[in-house]
Structure formats: C-alpha cells, structure tokens
C-alpha cells in the first residue's frame, strides 16, 4: 500500500533545512500545531494524497451505522482511505487558521496520532498531511500478547498526549489537562469511526493493547499513551 504513496527518505538528509523551515513555521501562525515529535522524527516519510472531503455519507446515516468491529478481511486500506482516516483523526480543516477537524481545549494541539502500519510506526503530521516513520518494521504482532485481529488488521492508530508546556499566564492544571487529553482523543476516535462507516471499513477503540511495547518502539519519553483504534476492511 505504501509503495503507491509518495514516499521519500526525509529529514536525515534534509534535516537541517527541514528543521529550519519547521522552526520558522512554528514560530509563526502555526505554533500550536507543532509538537516535539515533529522535530525528532527521522526516516521514511509518506506524503498522503489530499483528503477527498467532498465524499462521504450523510452524518445521520454514519451515526446510525457506527459500531465496533472485531473481524476484518485480509485486505489493505487504499491510499485514499488512509488519507481520509488520518485527516479525520487529526487533520486540519481550516488551513487559514491552522485549526483542525476535532476540538481541543485552549487550542493546544498536544494529542498526536501514530499509525501502526505493516511497514512501521508513523507519526501523523497534520500541517504536511504526511506520515513520518519513527519505527521501521511490522510492529502489529506486538500490539497484543494474545492472538488478536489487531496483529493482522491493516492499521492501528495510537493516540498520544504530549505534555503541555508551562505557561505562567495560563497555568496548566494537570488533572484538568488529563481530562482534556482524553476528551480530545475521544473526539478523534469518533471522527475516525464515522469516516470508516462512510468507507465501509470497521473500527474498534481499544484500551487493551501493549502500551509499554509501543512506547519503547516509538521512542516516547514523557508522553502519555491514551488509547488505540484498530481499522480494517469489513469481511
């Protein structure tokens, strides 16, 4: 699947330029969009096709059909579907303002989305609508200790909260922030579930997965792994 996407070796070779450009962007109007991982990621980058936002089902039909699915066909997602799912999870829907599909508290976009694909683990970068590889290799078997559909499903999203930087004029209440992070991730998973219905895909939100193994593979440090969501083609 990924071979059909625009794929390039990124920021190892172009690291300085990319870091400078991102730094300039982060210093300007897109500051709240940028997360520490965006600078740390290195390796293969997947540029996703633009999301086809004119497609889809009426929202009432999508809501009526939403459900958890735990049985999937042995089939890949299309590039188009991957693009739509990542956009629904954490994409930008108002580029002029840098605002996103899903709401967040205080316009602090600190929840990142990782995509566990057969080729590796990738961090979704909303501003580029691209995936930056953080782990090469098939991590899916390690998502569960017991035999499970998540080990073969084409995609599992993992929602990860970055710590919010202290701001003396607007102090962060850690308990409240944890609630905000979970609410943000809830909105994100629901948007993915609704897009999935429109694409005849199945999804299941999963709290039970190997978070420590994921944390290690994705080289996370002080982030919180919130929840996962598996996506597959319905049989």
Ligand X SMILES: Cc1cc2nc3c(=O)[nH]c(=O)nc-3n(C[C@H](O)[C@H](O)[C@H](O)COP(=O)(O)O)c2cc1C
Among 9, 67, 106, 176, binds ligand X (CB under 6 A): 67
- The three-state secondary structure class of 112 is strand
Tokens for 137, please give them. Answer: 């290799």
How far, in Å, CA of 167 to CA of 20, rounded?
24
Count of residues that bind ligand X according to CB under 6 A:
9
Residue 71 binding ligand X, by CB under 6 A: no
How far, in Å, CA of 121 to CA of 154, rounded?
12
Instruction: Show the site string, 215-234: x = touches ligand X by CB under 6 A, - = not.
Output: ------------x-------
Region binding ligand X by CB under 6 A among candidate stretches 21-29, 67-75, 133-141, 210-218? 67-75
Residue 4 binding ligand X, by CB under 6 A: no
Least distance from ligand X to the Cβ atom of residue 5, Å: 29
CB 205 within 8 A of CB 189: yes
* Residues in contact with 147: Cβ distance below 8 Å, sequence separation at least 6, in sequence order: none
At which residue do the structure tokens 């999963």 appear?
206
CB 125 within 8 A of CB 92: no
Q: Which is nearer to ligand X, 85 or 132 (CB)?
A: 85
Among 28, 95, 147, 207, binds ligand X (CB under 6 A): 207
Least distance from ligand X to the Cβ atom of residue 234, Å: 13
Q: Which is nearer to ligand X, 131 or 188 (CB)?
A: 188
Among 13, 53, 55, 68, binds ligand X (CB under 6 A): 68
Q: Kindly report the backbone phi and psi dihedral angles of residue 145, in degrees, each rounded to the nearest multiple of 5, phi listed first.
A: -80, -35
Residues in 45-64 at the binding interface with ligand X, rule: CB under 6 A: none
Region binding ligand X by CB under 6 A among candidate stretches 34-42, 65-73, 108-116, 155-163? 65-73
Residue 205 binding ligand X, by CB under 6 A: yes
CB burial readout 10-49, b (16+ within 10 A) else e: bbeeeeeebeeebeebbeeebebbbbebbeebbebbbbbe
How far, in Å, CA of 154 to CA of 149, rounded?
10
Determine which helix (DSSP H) or strand (DSSP E) holds 88, and give its type and residue range.
helix 79-90
Among 206, 214, 218, 225, binds ligand X (CB under 6 A): 206
Binding site for ligand X (CB under 6 A): 67-68, 70, 204-208, 227
């Amino acid at each position: 699947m990924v071979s059909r996407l625009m794929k390039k070796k990124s920021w190892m070779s172009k690291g300085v330029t990319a870091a400078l450009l991102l730094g300039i962007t982060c210093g300007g109007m897109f500051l709240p969009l940028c997360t520490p991982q965006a600078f740390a990621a290195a390796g293969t980058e997947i540029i996703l096709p633009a999301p086809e936002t004119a497609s889809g089902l009426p929202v009432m039909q999508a809501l009526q059909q939403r459900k958890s699915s735990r049985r999937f066909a042995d089939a890949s997602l299309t590039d188009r579907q991957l693009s739509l799912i990542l956009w629904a999870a954490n994409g930008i829907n108002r580029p002029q303002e840098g605002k996103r599909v899903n709401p967040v508290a205080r316009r602090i976009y600190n929840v990142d989305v990782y995509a566990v694909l057969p080729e590796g683990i990738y961090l979704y970068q909303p501003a580029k609508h691209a995936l930056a590889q953080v782990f090469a290799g098939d991590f899916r078997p390690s998502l569960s200790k017991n035999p499970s559909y998540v080990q073969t499903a084409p995609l599992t999203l993992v929602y990860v909260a970055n710590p919010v930087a202290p701001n003396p004029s607007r102090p962060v209440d850690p308990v409240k922030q944890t609630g905000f992070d979970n609410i943000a991730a809830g909105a994100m998973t629901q948007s993915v579930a609704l897009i999935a219905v429109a694409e005849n895909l199945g999804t299941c939100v999963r709290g039970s997965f190997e978070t420590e193994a994921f944390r290690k593979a994705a080289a996370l440090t002080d982030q919180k792994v919130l929840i996962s969501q598996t996506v597959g083609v319905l049989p």
